Amino acid sequence: MKVGIDSIAFSTSKYFLKLETLALHRREDYEKYYVGIGQKQMSVFPPNEDIVTIAVDAAQKAVAEIADKNDIDMLIFATESSFDLSKSAGIYVHHFLQLKENCRVFDIKQACYSATAALQLSKSYVMENPSSRVLVVASDIVKYQPNTSGEPTQGGAAVAMIVSKDPRILTLEQYSGIHTTDVMDFWKPVYKNEALFDSKLSVYNYLKSLNIALKRYFDASNSSISDLDCVCYHAPFGKMARKADQQTFRNKFLENSLIYGSLIGNSCSASIYVCLLSLLDNTPEDLDEKRIGFFSYGSGSVAEFFSGIVSRGYRKMLSPERNFQMIENRMEISFEEYERFSSAASMPSLSKYQNIGSVTLAKIENDKRVYAASC
């Protein structure tokens, strides 16, 4: 039985900051951002937008592509940006999508790897329950301390995927190469708002993990690099994926997969699936029945290399015009507004900010997050 991605959609903020603007105010050469890390813009999130609001928007679009949302009996929310150590962010998505009560909902965490863990878990679940569908949502908003090397890689997005039998976009293959090791390259203590990182160690461990996971994938599948038609990499910034590709594949489709990420910045758990959407939307060649390799990496660290076969007629399930319009219709903000967004300790004048979708964070009252329909 074929199991994989039947529907996919993504969402990001209504606002963005040009890295040219950031470079000017940080007294950096813009080439350091554009060439050095391969980024052009970053999505920036106002106080009334969070991982739930963008997740709902992405999920509504993905669910609209299936005949009956009552077939969804599991929702997995992958994130490293959770605001609650107890209640699942997925519960809010379940509520706003009005999914049935007989539905498992939970969050899953392991840095940027978590969405891949959710996808593999979903595949196994559908294999055992062929009439079921699973909604996987990856949603992250990335923030670093000002004036650090991580600042120009900030961003965020949500990707929602429906996993089912007879998938119309991508069939997941059975083989994987996995590498897990304890390393402190990136971490976010519960008492801090921003992540901490060792950038050189993170790049080193990413590339080392790629070599190991890829070899294990080839050993398990009895295949070689020539059996792959293209590869999507976890791309916290474009230059990282380019380094990985130079080391392994030299993929002619690589740049197509990096277009969206260069404009929205790092989206952590969603990043590799933003790359998949960018590849499918922006590759003019027909990818029917092509084998795509995926390298997923989550600091700390867990890495996995796996593959999937693109479904015949996959273009019918894509919405490139909608995705282009969403990115093009974002509003550019000034550096001063960016700083206000970044330092907002409270939620003033929320009505002045637009939302990407149908749900907004209305207020935080008595330590409870209150969401409402967007105006």
Closest CA to 284 of 308, 252, 240: 252
Q: For residue 350, what pLDDT is reported?
A: 53
203 and 242 in contact (C-beta within 8 Å)? no
**What letter represents residue 205's amino acid?**
N
For 171-315, CATH number out of 3.30.530.20, 3.40.50.300, 3.40.50.720, 3.40.47.10 equals 3.40.47.10
For 278-297, b/e burial (b = at least 16 CB within 10 A) is bbbbbbeeebeebbbbbbbb
Within 8 A by CB and 6+ apart from 28, the residues are 22
| Catalytic choice (80, 173, 255, 304) | 80
Mean of pLDDT over the chain: 95
179 is catalytic: no
CATH number of 3-169+316-373: 3.40.47.10
Q: Residue with structure tokens 């595949």? A: 123
d(CA 28, CA 169) in angstroms, rounded, equals 42
d(CA 160, CA 137) in angstroms, rounded, equals 4
Q: For residue 80, what pLDDT is reported?
A: 96
Q: For residue 374, what pLDDT is reported?
A: 82
pTM comes to: 0.96
53 and 357 in contact (C-beta within 8 Å)? yes
Q: Residue with structure tokens 């967004």? A: 341
Dihedral angle, C-alpha 146, 191, 80, 150, nearest 10 °: 20
259 and 278 in contact (C-beta within 8 Å)? yes
| Catalytic choice (234, 268, 275, 304) | 234
Within 8 A by CB and 6+ apart from 367, the residues are none
List every span in the chain annotated with CATH 3.40.47.10.
3-169+316-373, 171-315
| Catalytic choice (112, 230, 232, 268) | 112
Residues of the chain with pLDDT under 50: 346, 348
**How far from 291 is each of 294, 310, 359, CA to CA, in Å?**
10, 6, 37
d(CA 293, CA 290) in angstroms, rounded, equals 10
The CA-based angle 239-241-243, given to 5 degrees, is 70
Within 8 A by CB and 6+ apart from 266, the residues are 140, 142, 153, 154, 155, 156, 235, 236, 237
**How far from 271 is each of 59, 93, 97, 143, 309, CA to CA, in Å?**
16, 20, 23, 15, 20
80 is catalytic: yes
Q: For residue 284, what pLDDT is reported?
A: 96
Q: For residue 375, what pLDDT is reported?
A: 65
Structure tokens at 375: 């105006």
